Amino acid sequence: MKSICAVEGVSASGLKERKFGLALIRSSGTAAGVFTSNRVRAAPVEAMVDRMRKGTLDAVVVNSGCANAYTGERGYRDAVEMCGIAAGALDLDPESVGVASTGVIGRYLDLALIRDQCERAAPLLARSVEAEDAAARAIMTTDTFPKHALIRTESFAVGGITKGSGMIAPNMGTMLAFIYTDAEVEAPVLQDILRQATRRSFNRVVVDGDTSTNDVALCTATGAAGKVDHQELARAIEAVCRDLAVQIARDGEGATKLLEVTVRGAADEDAASAVARTIVASPLVKTAVYGEDPNWGRVVAAAGRAGVEFDPYAVSLSVGGTPLVLRGEIVADLAKAKAAMLGNTVSFDLDLAAGEGKATAWGCDLTEKYVEINGKYTT
> Which of 71, 142, 174, 220 does the annotation list as catalytic?
174
Other CB atoms within 10 Å distance of the CB of residue 229:
12
| Catalytic-residue membership of 174 | yes
> Which 3-state string (H, E, C) describes the chain?
CCCHHHCCCCEEEEEEECCEEEEEEEEEEEEEEEECCCCCCCHHHHHHHHHHHHCEEEEEEEEEEECCCCCHHHHHHHHHHHHHHHHHHHCCCHHHEEEEEEEECCCCCCHHHHHHHHHHHHHHCECCHHHHHHHHHHCCCCCCCCEEEEEECCCCEEEEEEECCCCCCCCCCCCEEEEEECCECCHHHHHHHHHHHHHCCHHHEECCCCCCCCCEEEEEECCCCCECCHHHHHHHHHHHHHHHHHHHHHCCCCCCCEEEEEEEEECCHHHHHHHHHHHHHCHHHHHHHHCCCCCHHHHHHHHHCCCCCCCHHHCEEEECCEEEEECCEECCCHHHHHHHCCCCEEEEEEECCCCCEEEEEEEECCCHHHHHHHHCCCC
**Residues with active-site annotation:** 174
